[in-house]
Structure 1
Amino acid sequence: MKRISKITGIVLISSLLWFCSGDDDTTNPGTGEPVEATKTLVETLSVPWELIWGPDNFLWVTERNGKISRINPDSGEQQLVYTIPNVSQVGESGLLGMVLHPNFDTNPYVYVVYTYNGGSGLLERLVQFTYANNTLSNETVLIDQIPANSNHDGSRLLITPDMHLFMTTGDAGNTNLSQDMNSLGGKTLRLNLDGSIPADNPFTNSYIYSLGHRNAQGLVLHPNGKLYSSEHGPSSDDEINIIQSGKNYGWPAVKGKIDTPNEQTFAANTEVIESIFEWTPTIAPSDLVYYTSNRIPEWTNKLLMTVLKDQRIIALTLNGDGTAITNEEVFLNGQFGRLRDIAISPQGRVFIATNGNSYGDTSNTHRIIEINKIEK
């Protein structure tokens, strides 16, 4: 596949201006010493999956073994908040996505997704907890018995300004589920924060917002109002998609663009939305965020995506109306191993969660690292 150029002249000029400007972000406000390009906050985690900046100005992290912790972003002090007792961690399953209520001070709710043993196999559920006194309680199940497996479980969570909760689900290794409207597998789901189905969802009495997905692990709402996702392909066509209400993204009949006879036959009978960017061979994309700060100017106004297999951050530039990606830039290539997740503070501080150097690494040596600047 043809690649887009990695570095543009605009990025080089902005980088030079930033390093020469004496910006306060390049020095430690306490000592005046230069800030390290990277800083390891925690290095004893077991497969961190979700990393978010909380409204309490702490980092919140899930580990696939069921642990939820808060991390002081300055000292790295880690506080275990709760361990979900019935999480089943098999392969890629376990405790996955998490999001906090936007009005956390008055509504201290924590939403998480985890897999559990359903008797005849793995299942997945979306739940709400209440946070108080540095622990969680009052587990409330919002959606249960979502198909799960040792791989392809999703699951990224996002709360939009209009207080709807979006959730990505995987096909649980059963490709038929993605086109099955009676299954929640291989979909993007949309619900109210109390677990009810929004009246304006595209399919009557259904959580399903979009279908035809394989395993989306990144989800971000851009300031332009578009909802972007990153999705794992099989051996080809990892994707970036724009998620739209009621639309079909083609899996398993369509991978990436509609460019083979079989894909064209399927699309002739089913309206399919094509991805806006693809990677072949696959790179294993994970979290997706939009960076608006000038703190790291190389990333300003770009989609940032963490990558597992190819062990990097990719910065993606959108065109003016957000319908296409015009540039791809690679950063931190191979420096920290597999990169699972990324969190951004309101001040533009960047934190990443690592997942070891190889697939299946479940050791307690995974890290949370702060990226302060890009070294050339």
Structure 2
Amino acid sequence: MDKKTRILAIVAAIAASILIVTSPSGSIVIPQPNTSTTTGSDAVQVIATHLQKPWAMAFGDGKIFFTEKIGKLRVVDNGILVNDSVADLHASDISDAGLLGVATHPNFAKNHWIYVYYTYKDGDKLWNKVLRITESNNKISDATVILDKIPGAEFDDGGVIKFGPDGKLYIGTGDATDENAAQDLTSLAGKILRLNDDGSIPNDNPYPNSPVYSSGHRNPQGLTWDSKGILYETEEGPTKNDELNVIQKGKNYGWPNQECTGSPGYQPALLCYNISVEPAGIAYYGSGPLDFKDSLLMTTLRGNILYQLHVSDGNMTSQKIILDGLGRIREVGVGPDGYAYVLTANTDGQGFPDKNDDKLLRIVK
């Protein structure tokens, strides 16, 4: 059985086992890829190849920035992958740890601020931090620590960071293998955090002088908002019970006392996958050239699938497969051009990389 057949067989087996427990972009257009370096089908174009453990991406000023877990912040400029990194960080690339999330400031075109989340080692202990990088001509020109001493570990580091429609920075942190930390409001682990762009705490956070926005999370992987400002989060379970959650201010999502649903006093998951698909990146597609209007696009690592989830007022109405056969899919984003972009993750030590992995792809049909 060849590699693609094996992957498709795994996809089919996992998809058959899924259980549903509970039922703005700017005017900047990312240039078309250079035809001399782009290959692919009519529906999926290959923008870049030979990436090393890519994790997250963000758009800004006509460019695509993405992280590689090994510590490199990379950029696609004018449709071409720049050979030199924007920044090389001393990240601890161990299992779930490394250079993870990336977000561009809502006013990136003027201030050129890029935010990254990464794991580092201090003595014999792992920590995570959020760093703000000032970019100039595709290189780092300055850096400021926004938040430090987020508990880190070999596994369950979270790492997703996104700016919300309110202009605040949201940070998904894992429990760093300490289950009790997710229920401890004095700990930064196992939370969704919310900060101003300079790292200060917003006055309207649910807990005074605390960056905590929601608690009881095991390992957040993706964040996105729909057109009504509803926040969705993907979260990996321990061995099963992966979650898609609607995040509400000050709410507790139960980990480790609850997985998905069933315990009074905790928020139930919107969706629960009772055999792990490892949901990762998620993005909201409002409108544009693709037939994904008012949908969530969700990647899966173990499931090897890009899903389209139809949502309405925080409720999911249907789910279908958009893309499979590419192996592990780590991240999805909607570009200012209205097309969907995905990062594969076959070089992360758990996939079956081909000679061109990993890849940045664009879905155009």
What's the TM-score bracket when you normalise by the shorter of the two chains?
Answer: 0.7 to 0.9
- Does residue 346 of structure 2 align to residue 340 of structure 1? no
Give the aligned residue type for 1:143.
L
Structure 2 CA distance for aligned equivalents of residues 131 and 357 of structure 1: 27
1:277 maps to 271
**Within-5 A mapping of 1:196-211:** 196-211=200-215
How far off its partner does 1:80 sit? 2.9
Local SS of the residue matching 1:87: coil
Which of 280, 286, 293 is matched with 2:287 structurally?
293
Contact 1:91 1:150 in 2 (8 A): yes
Match of 2:57 in 1: 51
Match of 1:236 in 2: 240
In the TM superposition, what are the counterparts of 1:130-279 in structure 2 within 5 Å?
130-258=134-262, 263=263, 267=264, 271-279=265-273
Q: How many residues align?
A: 330
User: Alpha-carbon deviation of 1:359?
Assistant: 4.6
Following TM superposition, the consecutive aligned residue runs of length 4 or more in structure 1 with deviations greater than 6 angstroms are none
Q: Which residue of 2 aligns with 1:18?
A: none
Counterparts of residues 48-127 of structure 1 (less than 5 Å): 48-54=54-60, 56-72=61-77, 74=79, 76-127=80-131
Give the letter aligned to residue 290 of structure 1: Y
Q: Deviations over 1:13-58 (max 9, x none)?
A: xxxxxxxxxxxxxxx9x9xxx972222121111011112222x111
Structure possessing the higher radius of gyration over alpha carbons: 1
1:235-285 CA-partner distances (Å, limit 9, x unpaired): 221111111111100000000111xxxx3xxx3xxx211111111111000
TM-score (norm 2): 0.85
Q: Please report how far the alpha carbon of residue 164 of structure 1 lies from its aligned counterpart in structure 2 after TM superposition.
A: 0.9
CA offset at residue 357 of structure 1? 7.3
Q: 2:42 aligns with which of 36, 50, 54?
A: 36
Letter in 1 for 2:317: T
Measured against aligned partners, the alpha-carbon deviations of 1:290-323 in whole angstroms (never above 9, x if no partner) come to: 11234221x221100011001010111113xx23
Q: CA RMSD in A?
A: 2.2
* 1:303-318 equivalent positions in 2, closer than 5 A: 303-318=296-311
Could you say which residue in structure 2 is the equivalent of 1:10? none
Conserved in 1, the CA contact under 8 Å of 2:343 and 2:359? yes
Change (3 A) 1:2 1:367: closer
Structure 2: how far apart are the matches of 1:41 and 1:356? 16
TM-score normalised by L of structure 1: 0.83
CA shift in 2, pair 1:272/1:42, >3 Å:
same
Find the counterpart in structure 1 of residue 314 from structure 2: 323
Query: Are the structure 2 counterparts of residues 146 and 3 from structure 1 closer, same or farther at C-alpha, using a change threshold of 3 Å?
Result: closer
1:156 partner SS: strand
Q: Deviations over 1:124-146 (max 9, x none)?
A: 00111111132113221111111
| SS of residue matched to 2:133 | strand
Amino acid of the residue matched to residue 357 of structure 2?
A: T
How far the C-alpha of 1:345 sits from its partner, in A, is 1.6
Whether the 8 Å CA contact 1:287–1:305 is kept in 2: the answer is yes
Alpha-carbon distance change, 116 to 358 in structure 1, aligned in 2, over 3 angstroms:
closer
Percent identity, please: 35
Task: State how far apart, in whole Å, the 2-side matches of 1:346 and 1:137 are.
Answer: 25
